[in-house]
Amino acid sequence: MTETLFALISAYGPIAVLASAFLSCLALPIPTSLMMLAGGAFAATGDLELANVMLFAFAGAVIGDNTGFAIGRFGGTRLAERLARAPSRRAVLDRACALVDRHGGLGVFFSTWAVAPLGPWVNFVAGATGLSWVRFAIWDMFGEAVWVTLYVGMGYYFASQIDFLATVMGNVSGLLAAVAVAVGAGLWIRGALRARAMGLQRVKT
């Protein structure tokens, strides 16, 4: 995996990082975090400019997020219903909806880096549910700045341990995603229990 990413960056430079960031923000399964680690490592060896890698990664992520937001805004509930036909997508959309409903722009901020697997779906949900585009864009840029700085920076400063670092960060991302799933499931179960309790109370009265 690492060798393939290095080959792409060697051939296309920061453009490869921009393209991967853009596409991953549209829910395509592309290892952009690892691509940014590799871009940082290339910058450490002097093959690329660190500022260019960070700028291209940031631009690709922000453009991709706002594209997802626009799809949600103009596709609306009809597109959401079509996506939700698959049970796996419905579960992810439900978690994204809970994050946006509960935290608004702050949920967008955390979805870009702390629970990145939810990010593309949060973008779509934020657009479909009517979150202000300005509010979305501001929180999104703050979040993507954290994501890009974190991964490109670690690739730059730990270039000699890039394989080990990629494994560790992959495990951390998996752990954060699992926590997000568990929290979402807990919120759903609590809501279902509350609805059932309210239904029983109505029956008794």
Dist CA 57 CA 35 (whole Å)? 9
Per-residue pLDDT of the chain (205 residues; tens, 9 = 90+): 556 777 888 889 999 999 999 999 998 888 888 889 889 988 988 989 999 999 999 999 999 999 999 999 998 767 767 766 777 778 888 888 888 988 999 999 999 988 888 899 999 999 988 899 999 999 999 999 999 999 999 888 887 665 555 554 554 444 444 444 444 444 444 555 555 555 545 545 5
Dist CA 77 CA 75 (whole Å)? 7
The structural domains of the chain, with segments of one domain joined by +, span: 2-204
Dist CA 191 CA 186 (whole Å)? 9
Dist CA 168 CA 143 (whole Å)? 21
118: closest CA among 135, 102, 138?
102
pLDDT digits (tens, 9 = 90+) for 115-145: 888 899 999 999 988 899 999 999 999 999 9
Residue 38 corresponds to which amino acid? A
Q: Angle at Cα 105 formed by Cα 34 and Cα 135, nearest 5°? A: 105
Write b or e for each residue in 134-173: b if 16 or more Cβ atoms lie within 10 A of its Cβ, otherwise e: eebbebbbebbbebbbbbbbbbbebbeebeebbeebeeeb
pLDDT digits (tens, 9 = 90+) for 60-73: 999 999 999 999 99
